[in-house]
Structure formats: C-alpha cells, structure tokens
Amino acid sequence: MRQDGKLDYLELPGGAIEAVKTFYGAAFGWTFTDYGPRYAAFDEGLEGGFDADEAKATRAPLPVLYAHDLEAMLARVESAGGTILAPIYAFPGGRRFHFRDPAGTELAVWSER
C-alpha cells in the first residue's frame, strides 16, 4: 500500500533507451513496460523508470515520493522550506510536482489523482 511521504518510485536518466534496457535485462533480468519511445518503466523491488528525454539527459536520478493529497503535500513541502521547481502537472498515470530540498536535491511527489 502506498503511503504519504514514502519513497515510491525512482526515475533514472535513460540515454540510449534500448541499450539501457538491454544492459539491465542481461545483467539483472529486469523487464520493462514501454511508455512511448523515450520511457521504459521497471518494477524490480522498487518501481521506477528510465527517461530518455534528451532535454533531461544529464539529469541526476529523481527520487519520487507518494502523496494521497497532492495539494496538501505541496503545501507541506513549501511550509518546511522546500523550493517548488515544477508546480502540479498531469502525466500518464497521475499528477506530480517537483521540488528542491535545502541540500539542493531535486525530488518529486506524485499521486494517482
């Protein structure tokens, strides 16, 4: 069961997505669900995905937390001193926002609704 504020998903840079999928499949036996030509999701103990969007190619891994009430969680993040980098937006599967913590790490929070 998904819980508020718990690490729920990990997005990694995908680069050459087919090569990445081949590597993780051969090395670790991972399987993937493709969401278009530039995104492949995995569920290997922790759900996650490889994002091959060229605009994000040099980006660091993106930890994604969960929230039942996305608006309330955004308010909590702001109140605690987080900097909102991307306000709530829709994506296939739900909605999310991105923020930076006081150490400078970018994270996201998502919800199905």
- Domains contained in the chain, number: 1
Max Cα-Cα span within the chain: 44
DSSP 54: G
How high is the pLDDT of residue 57? Answer: 63
- Across residues 47-74, what is the average pLDDT? 90
How high is the pLDDT of residue 56? Answer: 73
Q: Identify the domain containing residue 22 by its residue range.
A: 7-111
How high is the pLDDT of residue 74? Answer: 95
Instruction: Tell me whether residue 1 is in a domain.
Output: no
pLDDT (tens digit, 9 = 90+) per residue, 7-51?
A: 999 999 888 899 999 999 998 899 999 999 999 999 998 999 999
* CATH number, domain containing residue 82: 3.10.180.10
Name every residue whose Cβ is closer than 8 Å to that of residue 77 and which is 6 or more positions away in sequence: 84, 97, 99, 109
pLDDT at 58 over 90: no
How high is the pLDDT of residue 55? Answer: 81
